[in-house]
Structure formats: structure tokens, C-alpha cells
């Protein structure tokens, strides 16, 4: 179960953190900046005020429509938002969870049937059980049946959570289409050190810069 949880956690990190890394802009260094005259600065400020924003009304997306499209067909909302690079992540998550579900369900049904063969009164049924299960006690085999059933059910829950995450991502991404993303705002994600009680710990920091 821990392996499945780690797998879905890696998918969530990739699904949520990768857009931040792709959209982060490098902050230009202040040292060595060219000296400009006051007239040039005034012209630059004036041009920035009159410069049209990147996100015009024709580029805005409807969050409800994006969520509905992803609910009908996962990944369709991401395509509606123009984020085609997310499609392999969306379907990769479903494929991986589907493989995990099939493995656990098959192992559960086999172990359940073998447990019945070992505990019945017909000694001929013992020959049907593979050697790896024949050497186990009934209590150990029953414990294995319960484990495979729990892993199968847990994988089912993860599939529904992944489905909801895909829908939420499409809706949030459509909301972000209406935000003003101008050149006056830049950000960068970089490693940092976080002070703790017994020293420092590695962390990740997000630095935002607002330019006038």
C-alpha cells in the first residue's frame, strides 16, 4: 500500500509542481544594469501603462465548461485550456492505477480460491493450489487474501481521487487564464535553508518580484 501511495504522490507533485516550474521566470540581476535617462524611464513607464495585457477576453476560459469537459472525458478540459502537455500525465496516472488494480484484484481472487481449496475436505483440491501457496498455513493465506483486497480497494479510492484532481486542475487552470500575467511580475523557485530548533533544514522557496 505504501508503494501505491508513493506512486500517486509522485503523480500529484508532477501534476501540480511542474506548471509552477514551467511558468516561473528568471529574475534579472540588478548588477550591471544599464543606466537610462529620466526621459527614457518616463517613456518606458508610459508604454507599460498603455501596453495591452497578455490575457485578453478571447483567451479567457470558462472554468465550469473546463470542469464539465474533464468530468465527461478526463484530459478534455486540459486540452480546452490549451495544456496539451498535461495529457500524458493524466492518462499515465489512470494507466498506472489501472495496472495496480488489475494486479491486486487478480492476486486477491487467486489467493481466495486457493484458500478455499486448502480448507475444504477434499484432498484432491490441494493439487490445484500452486506450491508457493500450498506451503502456507491457512491463517497466513487468509492474511494474504486480506492484504490484496485492501490494496485493491485502496487503489480504487486513488483512482477516484485522481479523477477528481483532473477535474479540479482543469477548473483552476481555466480560472488562472483570467489573471493578469504581465512583465511587472516575475518569480523563481529555488532551494533554500529553513531554520529549525536544532539547526537548519533544506527547503524550497518561491521569490516573487514586482516591478513598477
Query: Is residue 206 helix, strand or coil?
Result: strand
Phi, psi dihedrals of residue 211, rounded to the nearest 5°: -105, 140
**pLDDT for position 86:** 94
Read off the pLDDT of each residue in 137-163 and give the average, rounded to a whole number: 92
Closest among 68, 80, 94, 72 to 15, alpha carbons compared: 94
- Quick count: other Cβ atoms within 10 Å of Cβ 66? 26
Q: What is the pLDDT of residues 21-51, one digit of tens each?
A: 444 444 334 344 444 444 444 444 444 444 4
Section 55-82 average pLDDT: 84
Rounded CA-CA distance 97/62 in Å is 30
Q: Using CB atoms within 10 A of its CB, is residue 190 exposed (0-12), middle (13-18) or buried (19+)?
A: exposed
Helices 87-119 and 138-176 pack at an angle, to 10 degrees, of 160
More confident residue, 95 or 21: 95
User: Is residue 61 predicted with pLDDT exceeding 60?
Assistant: yes
Q: Which residues contact 196 (CB under 8 A, 6 or more apart)?
A: none
User: Which pLDDT belongs to residue 66?
Assistant: 92
The helix/strand count (H/E) of the chain reads as 7, 2
* pLDDT of res. 74: 94
User: Is the pLDDT confidence value at 124 over 80?
Assistant: no
Task: Over range 195-209, report the average pLDDT.
Answer: 77
Residue 75: closest CA among 97, 93, 98, 49: 93
pTM of the entire predicted model? 0.59
> Reduced to 3 states, what is the DSSP secondary structure of residue 96?
helix
- Tens-digit pLDDT profile for residues 69-82: 999 999 999 999 99
The Cα–Cα gap between 7 and 194 comes to 27
CA 55 from centroid of its chain's CA atoms: 25
pLDDT digits (tens, 9 = 90+) for 7-20: 555 555 555 555 54
pLDDT score, position 78: 94
Q: Cβ atoms within 10 A of the Cβ of 160, count?
A: 10
Amino acid at each position: 500500500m505504501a508503494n501505491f501511495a508513493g506512486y500517486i504522490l509522485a503523480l500529484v507533485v508532477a501534476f501540480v509542481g511542474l506548471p509552477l516550474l514551467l511558468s516561473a521566470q528568471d529574475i534579472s540581476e540588478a548588477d550591471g544594469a544599464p543606466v537610462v535617462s529620466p526621459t527614457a524611464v518616463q517613456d518606458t513607464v508610459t508604454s507599460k501603462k498603455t501596453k495591452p495585457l497578455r490575457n485578453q477576453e478571447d483567451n479567457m476560459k470558462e472554468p465550469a465548461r473546463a470542469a464539465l469537459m474533464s468530468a465527461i472525458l478526463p484530459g478534455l478540459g486540459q486540452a480546452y485550456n490549451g495544456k496539451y502537455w498535461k495529457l500524458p500525465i493524466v492518462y499515465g496516472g489512470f494507466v498506472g492505477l489501472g495496472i495496480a488494480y488489475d494486479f491486486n484484484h487478480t492476486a486477491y481472487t487467486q489467493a481466495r480460491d486457493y484458500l478455499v481449496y486448502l480448507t475444504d475436505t477434499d484432498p484432491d483440491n490441494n493439487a490445484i493450489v500452486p506450491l508457493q501457496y500450498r506451503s502456507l498455513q491457512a491463517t497466513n493465506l487468509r492474511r494474504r487474501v486480506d492484504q490484496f483486497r485492501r490494496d485493491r480497494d485502496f487503489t480504487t479510492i486513488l483512482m477516484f481521487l485522481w479523477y477528481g484532481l483532473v477535474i479540479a486542475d482543469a477548473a483552476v487552470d481555466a480560472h488562472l487564464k483570467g489573471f493578469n500575467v504581465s512583465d511587472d511580475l516575475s518569480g523563481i523557485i529555488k532551494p533554500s535553508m529553513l531554520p529549525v530548533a536544532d539547526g537548519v533544514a533544506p527547503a524550497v522557496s518561491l521569490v516573487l518580484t514586482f516591478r513598477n
